[in-house]
Amino acid sequence: MRFDIITLFPELFAPLLTSGITRRAYESGLVDVRLWNPRDHAEGNYRRVDDRTFGGGPGMVMLAEPLFHCLTAIRADRQDLAPTPLVLFSPIGQTLNHKAVAQWSDSAGAVLLCGRYEGVDQRFIDQYVGQQISLGDFVLSGGEIAAMALLDAVARLQPGVLNDEGSHQLDSFNPALDGLLDTPHYTRPEVWQGHAVPTALTSGHHARIERWRREQSLHLTAMHRPELLVQARLAGKLSREDETFLKEDQHASPP
């Protein structure tokens, strides 16, 4: 898959593409990332990419024309038979979640537009943006961090990127966990500052371990994201044993 990033600050992406486990996805070409600066497609001596907003007010707005020429160059370079979807990171967009990430990880990619300043000329958005994505109810200085979040989430789902192929299957929100939160994790030493690892995890009894993990997943989800339990219940993902545990656990404090 290929993601083309329209950004005024391409240098911000260097650490993402060259560090950590997910760099394997970029170095191997599993996730092909290409950076495009709209300033390279602006006209005039100053290569201007923004201007004051009509109607007055603070801040600047990204010009439509350089973005149009940048997008045209990207689509010509991709040589797509069908127009590549253009995604804008924006507060009004749909909140990114695991289901959307999984869909992107199995796609041909997209063009990602990282807005800056007060935003992008609405005429360009109306004409060319096919989807808007948000990370949540807060505002960033630009779309670069949101684009990196999407790229990282997509990259780790690619085969061969993580050391353990099944690792992401046990992530929070994954269908393998019925969309619930992940369980707590522990490692050596067995006792740290007087606190021991739960005995179930050191019992060597696989069925007991799996049941403990399931119950902890249910417990954490009930405490912190109860709406996920509702979704799992409606989808028929909770067993009678799960429901019994939740009924008995409803007044418990976090582990």
Q: Catalytic residue at 137?
A: no
Active-site entry in 80, 152, 171, 182: 171
Measuring CA to CA, how many Å separate 216 from each of 40, 82, 192, 230?
52, 46, 20, 17
Q: Catalytic residue at 11?
A: no
CA distance 156 to 21: 8
Angle at CA of residue 160, ends 158 and 2, nearest 5°: 35
Query: Which pair of structure tokens corresponds to residue 44?
Result: 């005039």
Active-site entry in 91, 182, 184, 233: 91
Active-site entry in 10, 24, 34, 118: 118
Active-site entry in 156, 213, 215, 242: 156
Q: Catalytic residue at 188?
A: no
Let me know: does 6 contact 36? Beta carbons within 8 Å: yes
What residue has token string 């779309």? Answer: 143
Let me know: does 150 contact 104? Beta carbons within 8 Å: yes
CA distance 157 to 125: 30
Rg, the chain, Cα only:
23
What lies within 8 Å, CB to CB, of 98 at 6+ separation is 171, 172, 173, 174, 179
Q: Catalytic residue at 156?
A: yes
Tally DSSP H helices, then E strands, for the chain.
9, 9
- The 3-state DSSP class for residue 38 equals helix
Active site residues: 91, 118, 156, 171
